[in-house]
């Protein structure tokens, strides 16, 4: 089992012991099970890109689409092979899908092309009014399709995602995803799930069966009207392989007049992996930097500079020609990124107003405050300043918080460590006054209490909040 795990980074042995048409629990909210949808919903093509996918996960995806989609709504399934090497994905696959009761077409990329270009190819040869993109290791559950198509029928500018349930990479157990999280992104422009804010619960009057407006999509699974997909410029074909394309299409949908939703009555499972089994030509880092650079240059206006301080490496990549994307933005008269932040994602982690953004350095020791990639409720750290942004970037916000991504420096007891807690915007323990004369941050306890580095614990270097022995006891460095 452990040997086979390495092939795809999931428990392939378990997958092979499970039927391709296994039953799944119905994890929908009760209110979803009785909803009625119109008969004349638009038909969809399902486009699935794969690269060296395991036989069982790929065919279980296909089978679940066939078994759980009303036949009159399913135009076809298009499998796009992004230049796999495995033999069973060639003739054997083509012969197998020929016997299925829904048209399944297999098309091949002539070289490793990546998710974006492979999806574009699949979309271009498909024929349904709606295009539904799925990952190659998914399982669709009962009633997954109708609520998605119903939203698009209502308004073709609505792009819809199902709730993504979790198929364990270890046991293949099926676990319901939450309808209480939606898509956002952090300072490094990584997609992240965050709790659905109260304003969105209120807008739906507390009815959790109604679709959630989400600032971003995870990227793997969504449905979009074919004409609308064309109209808003499909994908940025200048992006390579994978990464950033999900935020790019999310920003574009919202800024250019569309709507992006998570339809909470639609559930599709996905095998989440802890590590990627894929190799990326040229290296993952470079590709994602290039894609993110294009994303920032085209869609983020002045906020791109915020991102570049966090990720200075991004400014060093060659990101190619973006003129067709900027003219697309102009042609569609898309709104500015500040509009998106204010109206679609007001709870975003990016502070709209701040005094400064950068490192907090002790010039004497050349050490910097560093979040050490730690999580909520852990201590803030210090580390040699590296000037590479990332974990050493803090913002002193207009609320006088010292903030790193969604965490704020918080001092709850004297001589205790300075912790990183979720920003609460209520000042109190998270209020820091900046003193430009002595150049230090003062906690809410008063001017004589400051952040200082407690170096006595040799390995467990603590940053604590202490009382100054005498005013001006620290040098003005």
CA pair distance 264, 210, nearest whole angstrom: 7
Tokens 């270890």 belong to 170
- Smallest separation (angstroms) from Mn ion to the CB of 97: 20
- Smallest separation (angstroms) from Mn ion to the CB of 225: 24
Minimum CB distance to Mn ion smaller for 136 or for 420: 136
- Smallest separation (angstroms) from Mn ion to the CB of 123: 18
Tokens 């915007």 belong to 425
Minimum CB distance to Mn ion smaller for 266 or for 397: 266
- Count how many Cα atoms sit within 13 Å of the Cα of residue 219 in the half-sphere of its side chain: 20
Q: What one-character DSSP code corresponds to residue 65?
A: H
Question: How far is C-alpha 76 from the geometric centre of its chain's CA atoms?
Answer: 28
- Smallest separation (angstroms) from Mn ion to the CB of 135: 4
- Structure tokens belonging to residue 150: 């119903």
Minimum CB distance to Mn ion smaller for 6 or for 425: 6
- Structure tokens belonging to residue 462: 């603590």
- Smallest separation (angstroms) from Mn ion to the CB of 272: 7
Q: What angle do CA 184, 188, 192 make, to 5 degrees?
A: 25
Minimum CB distance to Mn ion smaller for 53 or for 406: 53
Minimum CB distance to Mn ion smaller for 135 or for 146: 135
- Smallest separation (angstroms) from Mn ion to the CB of 126: 20
Minimum CB distance to Mn ion smaller for 241 or for 310: 241
- Smallest separation (angstroms) from Mn ion to the CB of 16: 18
Q: Which residues of the chain form contacts with Mn ion (CB under 5 A)?
A: 135
Terminal Cα-to-Cα distance of the chain (whole angstroms)? 58
Minimum CB distance to Mn ion smaller for 276 or for 384: 276
Minimum CB distance to Mn ion smaller for 137 or for 151: 137
- The helix or strand, by DSSP H or E, that contains position 202, with its residue range, turns out to be helix 198-203
Pairing mode of beta strands 432-435, 222-225: unpaired
Minimum CB distance to Mn ion smaller for 51 or for 293: 51
Minimum CB distance to Mn ion smaller for 78 or for 115: 115
Q: Which residues have a Cβ under 8 Å from the Cβ of 99 and sit 6 or more positions away?
A: none
- Structure tokens belonging to residue 146: 């109708």
CA pair distance 212, 140, nearest whole angstrom: 20
Minimum CB distance to Mn ion smaller for 183 or for 381: 183
Quickly count: other Cβ atoms within 10 Å of residue 27's Cβ. 17
- Smallest separation (angstroms) from Mn ion to the CB of 293: 24
- Smallest separation (angstroms) from Mn ion to the CB of 138: 8
DSSP H helices, 204-322, are 226-231, 245-255, 284-299, 303-310
- Smallest separation (angstroms) from Mn ion to the CB of 114: 14
Buried b (16+ CB within 10 A) or exposed e, 193-222: bbebeeeeeeeeeeeebbbbbbbbbbbbbb
Pairing mode of beta strands 367-370, 361-362: antiparallel
- Smallest separation (angstroms) from Mn ion to the CB of 136: 7
R_g of the chain, CA atoms, integer Å: 25
Chain position whose Cβ is nearest to Mn ion: 135
CA distances from 453 to 257, 364, 368, 457, 458 (A): 49, 12, 10, 10, 12
Quickly count: other Cβ atoms within 10 Å of residue 266's Cβ. 27
């Amino acid at each position: 089992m452990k040997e086979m795990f390495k092939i795809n980074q999931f428990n392939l042995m378990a997958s092979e012991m499970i039927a391709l048409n296994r039953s799944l629990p119905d994890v929908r909210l009760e209110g979803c099970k009785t909803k009625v949808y119109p008969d004349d919903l638009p038909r969809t093509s399902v486009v699935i890109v794969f690269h060296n996918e395991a036989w069982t996960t790929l065919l279980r995806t296909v089978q679940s689409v066939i078994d759980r989609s009303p036949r009159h709504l399913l135009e076809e399934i298009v499998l796009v092979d992004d230049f796999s090497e495995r033999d069973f994905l060639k003739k054997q696959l083509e012969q197998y899908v020929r016997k299925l009761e829904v048209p399944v077409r297999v098309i091949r990329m002539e070289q490793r092309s990546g998710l974006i270009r492979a999806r574009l190819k699949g979309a271009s040869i498909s024929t349904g009014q709606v295009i539904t993109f799925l990952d190659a290791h998914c399982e669709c559950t009962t009633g997954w399709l109708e609520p998605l198509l119903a939203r698009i029928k209502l308004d073709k500018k609505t792009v819809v995602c199902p709730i993504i349930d979790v198929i364990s990479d270890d046991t293949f157990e099926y676990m319901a995803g939450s309808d209480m999280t939606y898509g956002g992104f952090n300072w490094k422009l990584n997609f992240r799930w965050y709790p659905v804010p109260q304003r969105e619960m209120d807008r739906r009057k507390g009815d959790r069966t109604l679709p959630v407006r989400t600032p971003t999509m995870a990227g793997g699974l969504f449905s979009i009207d074919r004409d609308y997909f064309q109209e808003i410029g499909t994908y940025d074909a200048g992006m390579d392989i994978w990464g950033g394309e999900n935020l790019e299409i999310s920003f574009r949908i919202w800024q250019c007049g569309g709507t992006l939703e998570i339809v909470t009555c639609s559930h599709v499972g996905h095998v989440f992996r802890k590590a990627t089994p894929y190799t990326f030509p040229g290296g993952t880092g470079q590709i994602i930097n290039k894609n993110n650079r294009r994303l920032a240059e085209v869609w983020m206006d002045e906020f791109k500079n915020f991102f570049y301080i966090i990720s200075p490496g991004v400014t060093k990549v060659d990101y190619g020609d973006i003129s067709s994307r900027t003219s697309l933005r102009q042609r569609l008269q898309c709104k500015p990124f500040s509009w998106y932040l204010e109206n679609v994602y007001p709870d975003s982690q990016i502070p709209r107003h701040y005094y400064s953004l950068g490192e907090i350095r002790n010039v004497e020791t050349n050490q910097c405050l560093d979040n050490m990639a730690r999580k909520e409720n852990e201590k803030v750290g210090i580390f040699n300043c590296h000037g590479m942004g990332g974990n050493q970037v803090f913002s002193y916000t207009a609320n006088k918080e010292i903030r790193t991504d969604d965490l704020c420096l918080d001092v709850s007891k004297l001589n205790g460590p300075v912790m990183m807690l979720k920003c609460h915007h209520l000042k109190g323990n998270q209020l820091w006054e900046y003193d430009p004369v002595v150049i230090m941050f003062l906690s809410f306890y008063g001017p004589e209490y400051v952040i200082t580095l407690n170096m006595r614990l040799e390995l467990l270097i603590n940053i604590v909040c202490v009382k100054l022995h005498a005013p001006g006891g620290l040098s003005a460095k």
